[in-house]
Amino acid sequence: MNTPDVFSAPQSANTNQTHANLACDSATPSPAICSRPRSRAALRGVLASANVALLVLVGVVVVQPKSADAQAPVGSQRARGDYTLISGDISAGSTAAIYIIDSANQEVLTMRWDNSRLTLTTIGYRDLQADAAAIPSR
């Protein structure tokens, strides 16, 4: 069975020529085939300059001071939260509430679902550490 080989060199009417032997003229379909290969010294120069540029970029990233705008200022460091969610009923209304307990920061947040706005609304907040430190009064 004679099937054309896809990887074989193009054949002209007179002779078989490989890509390396093709003459660069207007009939050549791709300029990449006709481009002159760079010398090894030129390639080494390009690679060396790319490596130097990457080294400088890494140095700038490592040495540059890190700042995160979304985090709390340094003076008010807050521990990463350890959250527990508990659902329960509340005495006001017929809706249920969600109690979000942050045990790392000792805080409790109470929220309920608002059907008219389709959002959670905050009902209350308590700082358990402040409550424990408070002197009970009658």
Higher pLDDT, 93 or 125: 125
Digit-coded pLDDT (tens) for 114-137: 888 889 999 999 999 898 888 887
> What percent of the chain stands above pLDDT 70?
64
Helix/strand/coil (H/E/C) assignment for every residue in the chain: CCCCCCCCCCECCCCECCHHHCCCCCCCCCHHHHCCCCCHHHHHHHHHHHHHHHHHHHHHHHHCCCCCCCCCCHHHCCCCCCEEEEEEECCCCCCEEEEEEECCCCEEEEEEEECCCCEEEEEEEEEHHHHHHCCCCC
As beta bridge partners, residue 124 has 110
Taking the whole predicted model, whether its pTM rises above 0.75 is answered as: no
pLDDT reported for residue 20? 45
Q: What is the pLDDT of residue 16?
A: 45
Output the average pLDDT for the chain.
Answer: 75
Instruction: Please give the structure tokens belonging to residue 76.
Output: 């008010």
* Structural domain spans, the chain: 19-60, 80-133
